[in-house]
Amino acid sequence: MATIKEVAKEAGVSVATVSRVINNNGYVNDETRKRVEKAIQSLNYQPNDVARSLFKKQSQTIGLMVPDIMNPFFPELARAVEDTASKLGYTVILCNTDEDIEKEQMYLNTLLRKYIDGLIVVSNTLTAKQIKRLNVPVVTVDREISKDIPTIIVQNTAGGRMATRYLKEIGCERIAHLKGPDHIRNANERCCGYKEEVHNEPWFKEDYIIEGHYEMESAIKATYQLLTRYPDIDGIFAGNDIMAIGAIKAVHQLGKKVPDDVAVIGFDGIALAKAATPELTTIAQPIYEMGRMAANLLIDLIEKKKIEKTFYNLEVELVKRQST
């Protein structure tokens, strides 16, 4: 691999002149610039990004930390972040933390060593104090950490109410809830929306709420257990689409039909919901828009542009399909 010294020798100029051409910093006359550019192309010289970032104090790179890349919500979010960042001249480093505190900290240390300019994070464990110590702009998505930190979330409680109310409107008389993990704020908010709609119903039992861990296999087991114990349940609101797809599978395993015997509704609006059989009714988040907004907001912060708003609580939408 060619060095900057070899480029300078080939072009017949100083290393400092080559550096000025590469970084577009300082005056270089057109004839000299063309000689340097020709030498770079001839030798296939690749500037050292780390060295450039040290010089310019900017790497044109941002980090994106997500808790579970197996959940289709996060790849869809990542695609929007990458699309937007790329158009603005930034590269994205994707980190999957598996909701492991040690792994999350390892990624943070690695990203900071690579001189990232900023970070988009989905985390249940990072605190506002930790984020402030990072000394780079940070935007949180999907899970609020602090109102002092730029954040993009959706109206989870309203979405939980919307899902449960719709099941009641289509005639469901006993509605259960597949809940996400207790330590995730949006899971609790969606459950809160469910409870606001059913707590006065004579049939309601706390046992109708069962943990599905935001995972398909856990949701299959939980739904099987729930419907075996309470066979009169005729509606299920799952806290995310992956659990809802698991619930549909469990209903079929029990010899019942969706939606004839049990109607199922999810939350997220992932593309996979349309591929489920039957197609999944869901409370859709604007996933792509969330990723686009997060990338734009972060890059505006990096580039020290004027920011009018740093906290967004977006609306969700009921998307009716075959599972109800």
Nearest residue to 136 (alpha-carbon basis) of 63, 52, 84: 63
pLDDT in tens, 209-257: 999 999 999 999 999 999 999 999 999 999 999 999 999 999 999 999 9
User: Residue 250 corresponds to which tokens in the numbers above?
Assistant: 């469990």
- Identify whether residues 222 and 107 lie together within a single domain: no
Structure confidence at residue 57 as a pLDDT band (50, 70, 90): low
- Identify whether residues 119 and 146 lie together within a single domain: yes
* pTM for the predicted model, two decimal places: 0.83
- Identify whether residues 71 and 127 lie together within a single domain: yes
3-class DSSP state of 7: helix
pLDDT in tens, 157-191: 999 999 999 999 999 999 999 999 999 999 999 99
Q: What's the domain range around 200?
A: 156-284
Instruction: Provide the domain count of the chain.
Output: 3
Between CA 18 and CA 41 the distance in angstroms is: 13
Bridge partners of 267, per DSSP, are: 283
| Inside any domain, residue 53 | no
pLDDT in tens, 252-296: 999 999 999 999 999 999 999 999 999 999 999 999 999 999 999
Rounded-to-5 percentages of helix, strand, coil across the chain: 45, 15, 35
| Inside any domain, residue 253 | yes
CB burial readout 274-296, b (16+ within 10 A) else e: eebeeebbbbbbbbbebbbbbbb
Give me the pLDDT at residue 58, please. 64
Sign of CA dihedral 32, 33, 34, 37: positive
- Identify whether residues 123 and 271 lie together within a single domain: no
CATH number at residue 163: 3.40.50.2300
pLDDT at 53 > cutoff 80: no
What residue type is assigned to position 207 of the chain?
D
